[in-house]
């Protein structure tokens, strides 16, 4: 099997109540043109197209068919679709190249979240017998998870505010972000709750958007991109869909996916309060923890457990809530030296069914631009981090 690399990425600006329709065509046409132009490819050079979107979000069956209009009627294409975030479409495209059925593949995801009541739409993904009839919305479920973590001492509200403040500051340089700007954690903590213990800054904004990533086989990647982001691991794991059947302060599927993808050192949980997020000495944790002697971040691996396992320079985490970033950092074993969400992450723009793909694309962009040598892109789906996909990439 051939090696596969990311050679192109483009993302539409994330906006609230954009002028485009739920078909996504208006968002997709410009970014298709952008990514093809950046790689020097024509539509006819794409051997496989795969999209990620949701009929529930669009409010009609087979809604993705209309999005194919953005590709054009000619030439004929080989096309597929997943009812998931575009990150899972990227996985299918990756497999297509691995098996030799295509040399170049394009994956895209799109969603117009503002067309309906997103919090209620996401309730439809819950257990249809016990949970969905109660219509618990996505923010309230995340608030339950955040409360459990607070009471367990896994994080604090101040640390959650620090995550939001850092994300917004990072997003200042990202023209596609929906929210950005310098703000202090102290000011954010003075805002009212929207779902105790979550404040508005703890929740990703509702926004419309799209993203696209191009993959290529080894030979084609070297021809088309001066510094491809080579995929070294790509894994997806799932936890129970029943909220009462798992510990919501942990993310074992994230740790398992990272381990299978070649990242070691994760524990599946947020490792106690995270003082480093608030700027206290010693970084996160106690001796042996992040930022301390012998812990993560010591010589022997970027962002690894200090045991010499390979780590990463940068990680783009699909964390729609502040506490989930803290949880994922522990689950994936990411130390203080790892740059997390330099794009601002989902907290600054979370277009449904495109945000996970955008995290992988943004991580790949860090490598293609020369700002990182090894990067991790993460996507999640389902309530309270139920499903987790990890893509690890490197420069060569």
Q: So what CATH class is 4-117+209-223? A: alpha beta
* Reported pTM: 0.89
pLDDT band with cut points at 50, 70 and 90 for residue 269: confident
In this predicted model, what pLDDT tens digit does every residue of 326-351 receive, in sequence order?
Answer: 999 999 999 999 999 999 999 999 99
* Lowest-confidence pick of 46-60, 247-261, 329-343: 46-60
pLDDT band with cut points at 50, 70 and 90 for residue 115: confident
Q: Give the three-state DSSP class for 238.
A: strand
Q: Give the three-state DSSP class for 261.
A: helix
> Torsion angle, CA of 312/313/317/322, rounded to 10 degrees?
120
| CA 144 to centroid of chain Cα atoms | 22
The 3-class secondary structure across 268-288, one letter per residue, is CECCCCCHHHHCCCCCCCCCC
| pLDDT for res 292 | 31
pLDDT band with cut points at 50, 70 and 90 for residue 207: very high
Average pLDDT, the chain: 89
Q: What DSSP line would sit under 17-60, residue for residue?
A: S-SS-TT-HHHHHHHHHHHHHHHT--GGG--EEEEE--HHHHTS
pLDDT over 50 at 191, yes or no: yes
Which residue, among 252, 257, 296, 208, has the nearest Cα to 377 in the 3D structure? 257
pLDDT over 90 at 96, yes or no: yes
- Cβ atoms of residues 316 and 341 within 8 Å: yes
Which residue, among 157, 192, 177, has the nearest Cα to 358 in the 3D structure? 177
Token code pair at residue 248: 């919501």
| pLDDT for res 376 | 98
| pLDDT for res 304 | 42
Share of the chain above pLDDT 90, in %: 76
pLDDT over 70 at 296, yes or no: no
The full set of domain ranges for the chain reads 4-117+209-223
- Cβ atoms of residues 120 and 132 within 8 Å: no
Give the mean pLDDT of 84-103: 97
The 3-class secondary structure across 169-212, one letter per residue, is HHHHHCCCCCCCCCCCHHHHHCCCEEECCEEHHHECCCCEEEEE
């Amino acid at each position: 099997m051939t090696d596969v690399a990311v050679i192109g990425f483009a993302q539409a600006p994330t906006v609230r109540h954009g002028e485009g329709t739920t078909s996504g065509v208006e968002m997709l046409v410009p970014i298709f043109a952008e990514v093809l132009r950046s790689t020097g490819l024509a539509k006819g050079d794409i051997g496989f197209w795969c999209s990620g979107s949701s009929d529930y979000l669009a409010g009609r069956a087979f809604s993705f068919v209309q999005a194919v209009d953005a590709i054009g009627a000619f030439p004929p294409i080989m096309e597929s679709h997943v009812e998931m975030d575009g990150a899972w479409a990227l996985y299918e495209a990756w497999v297509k190249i691995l098996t030799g059925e295509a040399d170049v593949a394009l994956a895209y995801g799109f969603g117009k979240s503002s067309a309906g009541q997103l919090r209620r739409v996401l309730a439809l993904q819950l257990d249809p017998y016990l949970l969905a009839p109660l219509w618990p919305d996505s923010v309230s479920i995340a608030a339950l998870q955040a409360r459990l973590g607070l009471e367990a001492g896994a994080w604090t509200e101040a640390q959650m505010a620090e995550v939001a403040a850092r994300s917004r500051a990072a997003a200042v340089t990202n023209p596609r972000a929906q929210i950005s700007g310098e703000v202090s954690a102290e000011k954010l903590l003075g805002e009212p709750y929207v779902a105790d213990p979550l404040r508005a800054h703890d929740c990703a904004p509702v926004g419309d958007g799209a993203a696209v990533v191009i993959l290529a086989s080894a030979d084609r990647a070297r021809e088309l991109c001066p510094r491809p982001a080579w995929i070294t691991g790509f894994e997806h794991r799932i936890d129970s869909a029943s909220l009462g059947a798992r510990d919501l302060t942990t993310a074992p599927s994230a740790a398992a996916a990272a381990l299978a993808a070649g990242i070691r050192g994760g524990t599946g949980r947020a490792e106690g309060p995270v003082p480093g997020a608030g700027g206290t000495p010693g970084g996160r944790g106690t001796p042996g923890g992040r930022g301390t002697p012998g812990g993560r971040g010591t010589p022997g691996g970027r962002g690894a457990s200090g045991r010499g396992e390979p780590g990463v320079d940068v990680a783009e985490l699909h964390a729609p809530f502040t506490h989930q970033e803290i949880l994922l950092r522990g689950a994936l074993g990411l130390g203080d030296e790892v740059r997390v969400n330099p794009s601002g992450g989902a907290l600054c723009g979370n277009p449904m069914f495109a945000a996970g793909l955008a995290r992988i694309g943004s991580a790949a962009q860090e490598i293609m631009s020369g700002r990182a040598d090894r990067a991790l892109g993460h996507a999640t789906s389902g309530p309270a981090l139920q499903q987790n996909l990890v893509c690890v990439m490197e420069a060569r």
